Amino acid sequence: MAHINVPEGVPGIRSLVMFRPETGKPLYELAQILLRGESTLSPAERELIAAYVSYRNNCTFCYSSHAAAARCLYEDDALIVDEVLRDMQEAPVSDKLKALLNIAGKVQILGTEVKQADIDAAKNLGATDRELHDTVLIAASFSMFNRYVDGLASLTPTDPEAYAEMGVRMAKGYTLPPQPQQ
Amino acid sequence: MFYRPETEAPLNALAEFLLREDNSLTRGERELIGTYVSYLNDCFFCQNVHGAVAGHYLNCSIDDIDAIKADFTTADISPKMKALLTIAGSVQKGGKNVTIEQVDAARSEGATDKEIHDTVLIAASFCMFNRYVDGLGTWAPQDRSFYVNRAPQRAVEGYVGSISK
């Protein structure tokens, strides 16, 4: 049961933004811009970064839902997602993406863990300033989302099918859910 | 710091609402939560910006704020604030560190659902802001009087359009 009185049966962050839509609005706008806005990183790659950070933060709701979204977006390459979560360094993704995931993983620990050598390595593999900025901000924002969702003990479904359905919806984008009927 | 206006807008809106909008928690109390979490995350810039603003609202010095950060249990703040800072400290470690006992303790000191929600989200959002600032190696003035001097202006202007300044 959640620590506060949120709509019953509604999972994760959805229940929290229904409770407090005034903060839900900028949170969903941030997610939409970061994960679906114009970028040289594909939405699939950005969802993968989000899932990777959430997995490292041990947030079941966030990593399960964003991994599902990433699998939808990767389409025939969906297995990449599970390979990255299993062993990022050995996964079949580009060296540039591995360098960005390395930075995301360090941000997940703390911002000061990111060293110039990590940035240089990513740049040497072709990462742009904008890609570095977005990687850091995705990792930082999921360090927030994970704590928000688990900090209030919001409902975490255990059925993988629930996350598969969420993934299909999330692949289309992030819009604030309507308020529950009073 | 690389500047991206599209992401700055929702970040500023979040900070503005959480820290300044009408709330049963005072602005000073909310800034204190942000300052404390930034201290735990060892983010020099954030704990000094928000520590100075907290001091401005709470009418105390930066040294008083330092003392509260180091040990809030003995500080001259309400039992409810101590309970909420305990929750914030747990959020900083990870969401699952918040216990039912901590939430019950806050409730027994009069904290409402909204106050508990906002405490968790302020703490969580500072875990984002701290990582964003430090992850991109943002330059921060080292002289703490810089932050103290700017606090009254920040208290008036708020956070809309502020991150890039």
Domains of chain A: 42-172 (1.20.1290.10)
Mean pLDDT for the stretch of residues A128-148: 97
Closest C-alpha among A36, A31, A106, A45 to residue A81: A45
Spatial distance between the Cα atoms of A111 and A182, rounded to a whole number of angstroms: 42
With 60 as the cut, is the pLDDT of residue A45 above it?
Answer: yes
Q: Are B90 and B119 in contact (CB under 8 A)?
A: no
Asked if A129 reaches chain B (Cβ–Cβ under 8 Å), the answer is: yes
Question: Taking a contact as any Cβ pair under 8 Å apart, which residues of chain A between 143 and 182 contact chain B?
Answer: 143-153
Quick check: ipTM above 0.95?
A: yes
Is A143 within 8 Å of B128 when comparing Cβ atoms? yes
**Can you give the C-alpha Rg of chain A in angstroms?**
16
| Chain B residues with CB-CB distance to A29 below 8 A | 9-10, 13
Mean pLDDT for the stretch of residues A24-30: 97
Spatial distance between the Cα atoms of A27 and A19, rounded to a whole number of angstroms: 13
pLDDT band at A25 (very low <50, low <70, confident <90, very high): very high
Q: Residue A7 gets which letter from DSSP?
A: P
Asked if B84 reaches chain A (Cβ–Cβ under 8 Å), the answer is: no
| Chain A residues with CB-CB distance to B100 below 8 A | 3
The string over A50-85, giving b where at least 16 C-beta atoms fall within 10 Å of a residue's C-beta and e elsewhere, is bbbbbbbbebbbbbbbbbbbbbbbbeeebebbeebb
| Chain A residues with CB-CB distance to B140 below 8 A | none
Mutate to test the interface with A, among B16, B128, B138 (most CBs of A within 10 A): B128
Is B127 within 8 Å of A58 when comparing Cβ atoms? no
| In chain B, domain spans | 9-157
Mean pLDDT for the stretch of residues B37-53: 97
Is B7 within 8 Å of A34 when comparing Cβ atoms? yes
Length of chain A: 182
What is the residue-averaged pLDDT of chain B?
Answer: 95
Spatial distance between the Cα atoms of A104 and A85, rounded to a whole number of angstroms: 13
Could you give the 3-state DSSP secondary structure of residue B135?
helix
Is B135 within 8 Å of A27 when comparing Cβ atoms? no
Q: Are A35 and A46 in contact (CB under 8 A)?
A: yes
Share of chain A above pLDDT 90, in %: 96
What's the helix, strand, coil split of chain B in %, to 5?
75, 0, 25
Q: Are B149 and B9 in contact (CB under 8 A)?
A: no
Mean pLDDT for the stretch of residues A134-140: 98
Could you give the 3-state DSSP secondary structure of residue B98?
coil
Element (H, E) at A59: none
pLDDT digits over B85-121, tens only? 999 999 999 999 999 999 999 999 999 999 999 999 9
With 70 as the cut, is the pLDDT of residue B51 above it?
Answer: yes
Question: Taking a contact as any Cβ pair under 8 Å apart, which residues of chain B between 41 and 60 contact chain A?
Answer: 41-43
With 90 as the cut, is the pLDDT of residue A182 above it?
Answer: no
Of B21, B95, B132, the CB nearest to A151: B95
pLDDT at B163: 53
| Chain A residues with CB-CB distance to B87 below 8 A | 151
CA A161-A162-A163 angle, to 5 degrees, is 90
Read off the pTM: 0.97
Beta strands in chain A (DSSP E): none
With 60 as the cut, is the pLDDT of residue B19 above it?
Answer: yes
pLDDT band at B165 (very low <50, low <70, confident <90, very high): very low
pLDDT digits over A77-125, tens only? 999 999 999 999 999 999 999 999 999 999 999 999 999 999 999 999 9
The letter for the amino acid at A34 is L
Which CATH code, of 3.40.605.10, 3.60.21.10, 1.25.40.10, 1.20.1290.10, is assigned to B9-157?
A: 1.20.1290.10
The structure tokens listed for B98 are 């918040």
What is the residue-averaged pLDDT of chain A?
Answer: 96
SS (H, E, C) B25-94: CCHHHHHHHHHHHHHHCCCHHHHHHHHHHHHHHHCCCHHHHHHHHHCHHHCCCCHHHHHHHHHHHHHHHC
